[in-house]
Amino acid sequence: MGTDDMKHSAEEMKGKAKETVGDWTDNQSLQAEGKADQAMANVKQAGDDVKDALTDDK
């Protein structure tokens, strides 16, 4: 697992934490922000996966 993978995993975990806190506190804004953070981390990871596949740099 490279540093980019770790960064994306950390971003996804941060988003999940925000979503969970939003669930607990009934804060829809925080829930949405958490889901957006998770989606962005997933998009970044997918982009890195494509780059790795094209450059065969794993």
How confident is the model over 12-55, as pLDDT tens digits? 999 999 999 999 999 999 999 999 999 999 999 999 888 888 88
Structure tokens that stand for 35 in this block:
């889901």
Give the CA angle between residues 52, 13, 24 to the nearest 5°: 155
pLDDT of residue 51: 87
pLDDT of residue 39: 96
Q: Which residues constitute the domain of residue 34?
A: 3-55
pLDDT of residue 1: 64
Confidence bin at 57 (pLDDT 50/70/90)? low
**pTM listed for this prediction:** 0.81
Q: For the chain, how many structural domains are there in total? A: 1
**Beta-strand (E) ranges in 1-58?**
none
Confidence bin at 2 (pLDDT 50/70/90)? confident
